[in-house]
Chains A and B, each alone.
Chain A
Amino acid sequence: MDQFAVKVFVRLRPSVLDPAGEATKSASIKLGAEGIKSLRIGKIIEVKIEGNGENEVREKIDLLCDRLFANTVIEDYEYSLEKL
């Protein structure tokens, strides 16, 4: 069995308004940061997972992302995978 470290990034789809991102953008500007054109907040989910090779692990992560980690009605996801 191989072990992998997976980092899943979940983001609101571009078409979905992100009010928390807007509020943080507004605070960033109040802090004096200049030039911010857009700010959106997502999630990162870190998983350590075992499996027989990368393909099998990718299948498991795809299922998790599609069914649980992200709601694809409102969110997109992508992930990176590193063999430990």
Chain B
Amino acid sequence: MDNFTVGVVVFPGSNCDRDVSWALEGCLDIRTKYLWHESSDLSDVDAIVLPGGFSYGDYLRCGAIARFSPLINALDDFIKSGKRVLGICNGFQILTESGFLPGALVANKNLNFICDDVELDIVSSKGGWFNYGDEKKTIKLPIAHGEGRYHCDSDTLKKLVDNELIALRYKNNPNGSSFDIAGITNEKGNVLGLMPHPERACDETIGGIDGLFTLKSLILK
């Protein structure tokens, strides 16, 4: 992949950063670089992943404190330049708290922390994150979250639907999310946030490879 480098952000409390890096390097041969959350120099990375975990212990609200890190402040220009940002689980929560994606993620309806594999319908391939064409309409990815219920008001939901910003919907909504939403993009399509973990589905021997395509999409221009 030449010198294309994906920055994997590390917050205090991130715990999927190494999984993301391993999946990109080991399964896709894409170079990665860990970015400490206090760094605001994004000049030598071409795309960014905000990984899952419990940044700042999920204090106050999931993602609420991480939002104020220097790196997230620098993300605005990075996104405006058209570079790609993928927020997984806690990364999705940080993207909504920061206002890069609309809505919010709140406690699962049944209050359980849910670890499971879920079937997901690909609703939109905006940004090319799930652009399988006719080959695939459904994928299976693992989820692991206590606060993954997507919530937004009806105006926002209409906007998401009208502009084809809903990327993934749960087939069997596990957490009570509005409109079964599991993942959304921004209008440009270069930012994707999703609760399921693509990095945990990159090798047949550990439960499937449906996450590979999305991680590989980080290198799209």
Task: Give the interface of A toward B (CB within 8 A).
Answer: 12, 15-17, 19-20, 23, 68-69, 71, 73-74
Instruction: Give complex CA distance A74, B64 in Å.
Output: 13
Residue of A20, A68, A71, A73 touching B107 (CB-CB under 8 A): A20
Contact residues in B for A16 (Cβ distance below 8 Å): 106, 151
- 11 extra interface residue pairs, beta carbon distance < 8 Å, beyond A71-B64, A73-B103, A73-B151: A12-B106, A16-B151, A17-B149, A23-B111, A68-B60, A68-B64, A69-B60, A73-B102, A73-B104, A73-B153, A74-B104
Contact residues in A for B102 (Cβ distance below 8 Å): 73
Contact residues in B for A12 (Cβ distance below 8 Å): 106
The DSSP consensus for interface residues of chain B is: loop
With most chain B CB atoms within 10 A of its CB, the pick from A16, A20, A68, A73 is A73
A-B contact pairs, 27 of them (CB 8 A): A15-B153, A16-B106, A16-B151, A17-B106, A17-B109, A17-B149, A17-B176, A19-B108, A19-B111, A19-B176, A20-B111, A23-B111, A68-B60, A68-B64, A68-B68, A69-B60, A71-B64, A71-B97, A71-B104, A73-B96, A73-B102, A73-B103, A73-B104, A73-B153, A74-B104, A74-B106, A74-B151
Instruction: Give complex CA distance A16, B107 in Å.
Output: 10
Q: How far is the CB of A40 from chain B (nearest CB, A)?
A: 13
Instruction: Give complex CA distance A74, B149 in Å.
Output: 12
Chain A CB within 8 A of B152 CB: yes
